[in-house]
A = this chain, B = another copy of it.
Amino acid sequence: MRSFFLGGRTVRLSGLPVEQRRTVMGGVPRTVDPNGDYSVGQMYVQEYRLAAPRHALPILLWHGGGMTGSHWESTADGHVGWLWLLLRAGYDVLVCDAVERGRASWARFPEIYAGPPLFRTREEAWHMFRIGPVGGYTTDPLLRRAFAGQQFPVEAFDAFSQQWVARWPDHEPLTLEAYDALLAWVGRAIVIGHSQGGGFAMAAAQRSARHVAAVVAIEPGGVPAAPTRTLAPHLIVWGDHFEPPSPLCPHPVWSSYRAMADAYCAAAVRYAGPTNPFDVFDLPGLGIRGNSHFPMNDRNAPEVAALIVDWLARCAG
């Protein structure tokens, strides 16, 4: 295993005031000059290579919005993450922190980025991640209302919230450029993306078509413009609790995101064929009930991973 950074560019700032700041414990203030060169737009990659991989192509794991690569390593309740399940399945795996997230670092605003990022509250995540209904979160864990049969380990929800990072939702072009650079560097790969990362994986299958051998988009949040040609094999995976909005049920926002993805699928499936399938797994429709927006963090994470590994064996060579 090794890690490296990739993509991005140099930005030069000037005309900013020089500060006097104490920067070390017990030290005295020193001059800090913010004018100069910065690296901006890079991403962070952890590369895990097996001694004897059983598949020719590596898998890239692309996290969702407001997340980093950490949730592929371990689930929020401390179980083994998909990273390790995929390595055990014989794949080399590369885990990313996308531009501006986690170890990839972010750049100052308003001088480089236009403005401040968004942060996610636990209240929003509780329903956006479809753990429970809108208003189901309370600070007191004992009073929270989750969906019956919820696969997300609700006792680990606060621990899970420690993983969330700030995100700039208008920065898709920056992130997609870095992913293009990663794919060019890797050569050819399978991409498994979650949520925002699922949409990026679908975009990459169009932008970097010769580098993407297959796409697995887990609950894609956002999709590119509809395809007009044959794409690499795609698998779209959806969890549970997409019922129409009601006082108890989700979720106007997710209903609209899923409708966007459904429209994309309807356009893409016209170009699908035996070697280029465009498949959708609706987990409840397959008898797998209760999944949240984060199947790789849910109690049945190994079961969902096995479905995907099986699909890859059949459809991604």
A interface residues with partner B (beta carbon < 8 Å): 1-5, 8, 10, 12-13, 19, 21-28, 30, 32-39, 42, 44, 46, 65, 68-70, 73-74, 78, 80-81, 84, 97, 102-103, 105-108, 116, 118-119, 121-124, 137, 139, 158-159, 161-166, 169-170, 172, 196, 199-200, 203, 221-225, 253, 256-257, 260
Q: Are A139 and B37 in contact (CB under 8 A)?
A: yes
A203–B108 alpha-carbon span in the complex (Å)? 30
Q: Are A3 and B103 in contact (CB under 8 A)?
A: no
Q: Contacts A74-B4, A124-B33, A253-B30 known; A222 to B163 CB distance under 8 Å?
A: no
- Shortest CB-to-CB span from A141 to chain B, Å, is 11
Residues of chain B within 8 A (CB-CB) of A222 are 24-27
Q: Are B33 and A139 in contact (CB under 8 A)?
A: no
A30–B260 alpha-carbon span in the complex (Å)? 14
From B33, B102, B118, B122, A36 is in contact (CB under 8 Å) with B122
Residues of chain B within 8 A (CB-CB) of A118 are 19, 21, 23, 32, 34
Q: Contacts A102-B102, A166-B106, A196-B25 known; A122 to B4 CB distance under 8 Å?
A: no
Q: Are B102 and A119 in contact (CB under 8 A)?
A: no
A-B CB proximity, top 10 nearest: A24-B222, A36-B121, A25-B222, A5-B162, A36-B123, A42-B162, A105-B165, A3-B73, A102-B103, A37-B122
Q: Contacts A107-B119, A161-B39, A165-B103 known; A26 to B97 CB distance under 8 Å?
A: no
A200–B253 alpha-carbon span in the complex (Å)? 44
